[in-house]
Amino acid sequence: MDKLSKENKEYLIKRNTNEYEVVIGLEVHAQVLSESKLFSTSPTKFGSEPNTQVSLVDAAFPGMLPVINEFCIKQAIKTGIGLNAKINKKSIFDRKNYFYADLPQGYQISQYKNPIVGEGTVTLDLPNGEKKIGIERLHLEQDAGKSIHDVDPNNTLVDLNRSGVALMEIVSKPDLRSLDEVNSYIKKLRSIMRYLGTCDGNMQEGSLRADVNVSVRKKGSKELGTRCEIKNVNSIKFMQMAIDYEANRQVDVLEEGGSIDQETRLFDTKKNETRSMRSKEDAHDYRYFPDPDLLPLELDENFINDIKKIFQNYQMKKRKDL
Ligand code: ADP
Ligand code: MG
């Protein structure tokens, strides 16, 4: 494999006489710091005995209705303000339908076309200066349960403690260009959320994980290449290893005259390679539709302003601390 070139702080992959630029966009899943779940009163404590933090809502018993947790809404708004982002006064919870053993509802409640937080920016402090990374959106969604494959040799076990825990999905624009920028971006996001107390950022416990989108293009090209998405990577080092492997794989395909298929891949941390999981699903595969059990979320100006005030107090306090 060719060496990475870091001249001019650029991350370029060289093959034969060609130079390729790597383009990265991250979908970060940050677990909301909250004592109870997004639509139920079950506790969210990490590391409890399996299936001890599961209400009838989380287990999707027939007829159970979700009730929104106001605290989680406030946490998402706070984070949105921390990302210098637009807070949307009206947002909608949709059902994202798919089947999985650890998803008893048969759908995840998420936000699709109308997220609670819109565009924003995160500023990175890099060795060669500042760089602004665009934020596309932040939306709230439920986490799924956990399938456990390595306890019983003949069965998969399901733990629903995580089912229904609130997540913030923070989607960046495809503005990241190197492994160092990815490192700096994740650390910056984590420090913003830790400072605000909206996510503990603990990657070992899965409170912060990301889907990593990678494409390559010839240096100087204006158009973006076709991306592949690597699912659920839970450490910065693994993100960097996955991107490096994946970008080199794409360059090899292009150099051999092939083209990149848009697909969802997984990163095998033991073999240090990405493997195809499935061709990329389209939004219509999920049959998104507004959850009929939940009204649109309408925020009143004062509600948002009260949160902004807490924020200003933080900043005043920070200035005093300096
Ligand atoms: P999806 O749900 O289909 O993954 P999203 O809009 O939630 O779509 O996320 C798309 C992510 O992929 C964003 O982080 C975006 O920055 C990134 N992305 C889009 N196009 C490219 C590309 N050509 N190369 C790399 N990343 C990309
Ligand atoms: Mg995605």
Instruction: Answer whether residue 13 shows pLDDT above 70.
Output: yes
Determine, yes or no, domain membership for 6: no
Determine, yes or no, domain membership for 62: yes
Determine, yes or no, domain membership for 2: no
Do 236 and 282 meet the contact criterion of CB atoms below 8 Å apart?
no
CA of 298 to the centre of ligand 2 (A): 26
Q: Cβ neighbours of residue 231 under 8 Å, at least 6 residues apart?
A: 211, 264, 265, 266, 277
Minimal-distance CA residue to ligand 1 atom 5 = 171
Q: Cβ neighbours of residue 34 under 8 Å, at least 6 residues apart?
A: 44, 69, 71, 72, 75, 166
pLDDT, one tens digit per residue, over 144-182 is 999 999 999 999 999 999 999 999 999 999 999 999 999
Measured CA to CA, the distance from residue 172 to residue 193 in angstroms comes to 15
Listed in order, strand segments (DSSP E) in the chain are 4-5, 12-15, 18-31, 90-91, 94-97, 107-110, 120-126, 129-142, 146-148, 157-159, 166-172, 208-218, 228-233, 263-268, 273-279, 289-290, 297-298
Q: Ligand 1 pocket: which of 213, 243, 281, 284 to mutate (most atoms <8 Å of CB)?
A: 213
CA of 244 to the centre of ligand 1 (A): 17
Q: Whole-angstrom distance between the N-terminal and C-terminal Cα of the chain?
A: 48
Total domains, the chain: 1
pLDDT, one tens digit per residue, over 35-46 is 999 999 999 999
For the Cβ of 294 lying below 6 angstroms from any atom of ligand 1, the answer is no
Report the predicted TM-score, pTM, of the whole model to 2 decimal places: 0.94
For the Cβ of 171 lying below 6 angstroms from any atom of ligand 1, the answer is yes
For the Cβ of 213 lying below 6 angstroms from any atom of ligand 1, the answer is yes
Determine, yes or no, domain membership for 3: no
CA of 42 to the centre of ligand 1 (A): 33
Determine, yes or no, domain membership for 232: yes
pLDDT, one tens digit per residue, over 212-228 is 999 999 999 999 999 99
Measured CA to CA, the distance from residue 233 to residue 238 in angstroms comes to 7
Q: Is 201 left (phi over 0), alpha (psi -120 to 50) or beta?
A: left
Select from 74, 69, 109, 114 the least CA-distant residue to 90. 114
Atom of ligand 1 nearest to the CA of 281: 3
pLDDT, one tens digit per residue, over 75-133 is 999 999 999 999 999 999 999 999 999 999 999 999 999 999 999 999 999 998 999 99
Banded model confidence at residue 278, pLDDT cuts 50, 70, 90: confident
Determine, yes or no, domain membership for 98: yes
Predicted local confidence at residue 322, as pLDDT: 55
- Which ranges of the chain does DSSP label H, i.e. alpha helix? 70-82, 179-196, 236-255, 301-321
| Cα dihedral 37, 101, 206, 87 sign | negative
Q: Ligand 1 pocket: which of 171, 231, 277 to mutate (most atoms <8 Å of CB)?
A: 171
Q: Ligand 1 pocket: which of 24, 27, 211 to mutate (most atoms <8 Å of CB)?
A: 27
Question: Residue 196: helix, strand or coil by DSSP?
Answer: helix
Determine, yes or no, domain membership for 289: no
For the Cβ of 169 lying below 6 angstroms from any atom of ligand 1, the answer is no
Instruction: Answer whether residue 135 shows pLDDT above 60.
Output: yes
CA of 54 to the centre of ligand 1 (A): 33
For the Cβ of 260 lying below 6 angstroms from any atom of ligand 1, the answer is no
Pairing mode, if any, of strands 94-97 and 107-110? antiparallel
For residue 214, the ligand closest to its alpha carbon is 1
Question: Residue 276: helix, strand or coil by DSSP?
Answer: strand
Furthest-apart CA atoms within the chain: distance in Å: 63
Minimal-distance CA residue to ligand 1 atom 11 = 25
Determine, yes or no, domain membership for 145: yes
Banded model confidence at residue 313, pLDDT cuts 50, 70, 90: confident
For the Cβ of 25 lying below 6 angstroms from any atom of ligand 1, the answer is yes
> Where in the sequence is the domain holding 55, given as residue range(s)?
18-283+295-315
Do 249 and 242 meet the contact criterion of CB atoms below 8 Å apart?
no
Kindly give the interhelix angle for 70-82 and 301-321, rounded to the nearest 10 degrees: 60
Question: Residue 159: helix, strand or coil by DSSP?
Answer: strand
CA of 229 to the centre of ligand 1 (A): 8
For the Cβ of 75 lying below 6 angstroms from any atom of ligand 1, the answer is no
Minimal-distance CA residue to ligand 1 atom 17 = 25
